[in-house]
Chain A
Amino acid sequence: MNCVQYKTAADFDALFNQLAQKSEGRNPESYLERWQGLWQRLAQEPPEPSLLSGMAQAGAMSKADLSAGLRVILTGLSCGRPDFSGIKAPCRRRVAIVAAGNIPGVAVAPAVAQAAAGCPVVVKLSRSEPYFLPWLLEKWQESYAEPAGIVAHPWPADSPATEALLSSAETILAFGNDFTVWDIRDTYRRKQVFGFGQKFSIAWAGSSEPSPEQLRALAHDVALFRQNGCLSVQVVFVHGGKQETLDFARQFAPVLDDVARQFALPGAGLQSRQIQDELDLLGVHWARECRPHASCVIMPEKFQHEFMRGGCVVQVVPGQNIADAIAQIGSYWPSVQGVSLVWPEAGCREQQELWNQQGVGYVRCAGQMQAPPLDWANGGIELPRAVCAG
């Protein structure tokens, strides 16, 4: 499809109409079943080299990182089914998605969920991740006769086509930094806009003696996609006092570095140096385990928002209990997206419920953070019901 031809709102009106027509009679369940079958199959195959090359170049991530990450994402998407209850008739709302490019495929689940509900969906991809969704759409086309009902293209942010697309849409799902989301809300205030802004994730570690498997799983939660995702763990709260925390951090640092090194691009060591420089310049003498190549574990006494930097820099801090961790996060609490649990299996369910009670819907055992299921209510927004019901 030549997306360059779409320039004006009228062009996008026509595109949405065309997609809507092709979605006539779509059965949401069988549509999702096909997608999930496809994802399951793709998760078991080695990623295509051309896809990896393009993504690595555009997104400044290593092929090893992407290769591991795509498998995790596809596995996650293969699970879960969005809830269609309350959507009485096929939903025909014209949905535009503004995708972020910090990690691959942020638009995949919302696009598919909306398309399943019958919505025509057009995705403006980020220039740093213009490959994954179009590749999936290609795979869909190769596998099934039914149209996917989704068009995706990396129109530049400053292209008139982007404005035309958003003007033509009835619903906008905006992924991006808070500023971008605010800007879209403000500009299109008469439309239905759902914003998915900046968030971060934390880990809750219950034992000062975690198993090697748990440490490795947690390291994946930190290091996958070079800690760029909102589900990437930026800070680990260790249930206990200072000594338990230091013990945990010192066990975790070499494991994290090993995983981070596998995923690192050349130059990853500079970020480790940057954080060390800043701490030294500030005269902050926190314990730290900064490795020259890929990662840095810092151990302040309390959570420090300004030292959440990505690039495999992670804070490990003591938390007396969940309430204490939340208190430390303070005004940044609404930005917490998910919790990775490093907890003995027996108490895992209970901890999950405790975090759920605090309003965190996404709580996973360590190692599963980057695999949200298709029905994940990102930001508490249940798609497609939020768009289509009522």
Chain B
Amino acid sequence: MPQRAVLKEKILNFIDASPAFSLSPGTEHEQEFHHLALEVFAYQFENNEAYQRLCRLRNATPETVQRWQDIPAVTTTSFKSVPLFCHPLENAGFVFYTSGTTRTQPGEHYFYDLDLYKKGSLKSFAAACLDDRQRLPMLIIGPSAEFFPHSSLGRMFSWCMREYGEDGSAILFTPRGVDVEFACDWLEEYAGAGKALIILATSLALADLVTALEETGARIPLPAGSRILDTGGSKGRHLTIPRAELLQRTASVFALPETMIFNEYGMTEMSSQYYQTSILSGQLGADPAVHLSSPWLRSLACDPDTLELLPEGSKGILRHFDLLNLDSVAMLQTEDLGQVQGHSLILHGRLPGAEPRGCSLLSESLLSYRQ
């Protein structure tokens, strides 16, 4: 059996055998994760030529790296300039693009297939957002595979809808933005029927919908048990509303407790996600402010200047090791700030000035809202 297929099978088994979430890695899973991480590193070192070059220059090879924490990271911005793929590019089954930034070109994350991404994200989503429910009426106001074929978030939202959305679930977000009228009709219909529902949204789309409802003075009280999952995907636009305000306004417009507005943290360069939901905090006794990862995603905090690893619980820039990134690079150095304790993460936003900027690049585009 080829090396990739063996590794993929092992990771799929690891996903099956692991709890979707826990506060800290149990000894057994920790060992298994550790072995798999080193195997994934060895595989990527051997098959990803660019990554191998970088590792050699950092004096890190499968022979010298003994702990998953010491596997060399690549900065997420590298996805913008180098194809980081363990196969010839013509064998890429899928490519996801990072959404518009001020950089000259978007990042590209290549996949041979999406089996690991799908399996991991569906298991995490269901455990984090659905509790014991099998299906819920689902409204997507964010990217979907149908309208945004190169959005990784869109792919995940569409899988979630197919797997866990009841008949009548709807995608009411296109490249033009949220279809506010239809979204309101849809929500009113389900609210009228008294059925708990779920909205999957980007923070910006949610803000647009909430603002539109506020402007008309409308409120759509959602039935008990309804929930909203929002994520930071902005499609190149900036969210100007502070998160606390968005939560408060969303809760008010939909007559939902703020605890039923969940958050997901992920990125195109990564195949796994963190979730902050009251379901998880309730089940695991976690601090409601923390995001939790599944066992196949581990994170570290690093010193923002030296990039040295910091002790657990320290605030630093986040480095993630994602077992599901089998076809690219598993260890990613981000520009996000946070504190990590086991599988728990407290997010502190982005490093100030992290976005590389050329002359005048910070002026907001006036086009985005006209589209």
Contact = CB atoms under 8 A, between A and B. Distances in A.
Given A176-B360, A198-B359, A267 B354 contact: yes
B356 A198 contact: no
B82 A187 contact: no
Interface stretch (B2-10, B13-21, B142-150, B303-311): B303-311
B78 A267 contact: no
B360 A100 contact: yes
A157 B364 CA distance: 6
A127 B104 CA distance: 22
21 contacts: A99-B363, A100-B360, A101-B362, A102-B360, A102-B361, A102-B363, A127-B238, A156-B240, A180-B367, A198-B361, A228-B358, A230-B359, A267-B305, A267-B351, A269-B306, A270-B354, A273-B307, A281-B54, A292-B305, A292-B306, A308-B358
A196 B363 CA distance: 11
Interface string B66-104: 000000001101100110100000000000000000101
Interface string B302-342: 00111100000000010000000000000001010000000
B356 A311 contact: yes
A61 B353 contact: yes
A127 B366 CA distance: 13
B54 A267 contact: no
A184 B317 CA distance: 37
A120 to B, nearest CB: 21
B1 interface: no
Contacts of A175: 360, 363
B75 A187 contact: no
A277 B360 contact: no
B359 A199 contact: yes
A370 to B, nearest CB: 12
Given A180-B364, A281-B53, A309-B356, A158 B369 contact: yes
B352 A60 contact: yes
Interface in B18-70: 50-51, 53-54, 57-58
A200 interface: yes
A196 B360 contact: yes
A128 interface: yes
Interface centre among A102, A265, A267, A273 (most CB of B within 10 A): A267
Contact of B365 (A102, A180, A310, A311): A180
Interface in A257-303: 265-271, 273-274, 277-278, 280-283, 292-293
A108 B365 CA distance: 21
Interface band, chain B: 35 or more
Contact of B82 (A61, A99, A282, A308): A282
Interface of B: 50-51, 53-54, 57-58, 74-75, 77-78, 81-82, 84, 102, 104, 237-238, 240, 304-307, 317, 333, 335, 351-354, 356-370
Interface in A8-59: 59
Given A269-B304, A274-B75, A187 B358 contact: no
B364 A156 contact: yes
Interface in A329-373: 337
A281 B85 CA distance: 12
Q: What are the 6 A-B residue pairs with the smallest beta carbon separation, nearest first?
A: A176-B363, A267-B304, A230-B359, A157-B364, A60-B353, A158-B369
A142 interface: no
Nearest to B83: A281
A266 to B, nearest CB: 5
Contact of A126 (B53, B306, B359, B364): B364
B277 to A, nearest CB: 29
Contacts of B77: 274, 277-278
Interface centre among B78, B81, B359, B365 (most CB of A within 10 A): B359
A158 B78 contact: no
Interface band, chain A: 35 or more
Contacts of A232: 359
Contacts of B102: 177
A369 to B, nearest CB: 12
Interface string A95-109: 000111110001000
A100 B353 contact: no
A101 B240 CA distance: 15
A177 B54 contact: no
Given A175-B363, A179-B365, 6 more contacts: A98-B366, A126-B362, A176-B363, A176-B364, A198-B360, A278-B78
Contacts of A309: 356
Nearest to B329: A281
B307 A310 contact: no
A183 interface: yes
Contacts of B354: 60, 267, 270
Contacts of B306: 269, 292-293
Contacts of B361: 100, 102, 177, 198, 228
A280 B74 CA distance: 10
Interface string A130-173: 00000000000000000000000000111000100000000000
Contact of A278 (B82, B363, B370): B82
Contacts of A100: 360-363
B9 to A, nearest CB: 29
A230 B360 contact: yes
Nearest to B302: A270
Interface centre among A127, A265, A270 (most CB of B within 10 A): A270
A281 B307 contact: no
Given A183-B365, A270-B351, A277-B74, A200 B81 contact: no
A310 B357 contact: yes
A71 interface: no
A269 B370 CA distance: 38
A122 B5 CA distance: 63
B305 A266 contact: yes
Nearest to B303: A269
A90 interface: no
A129 B78 CA distance: 29
A217 B82 CA distance: 35
Contacts of A283: 50, 53
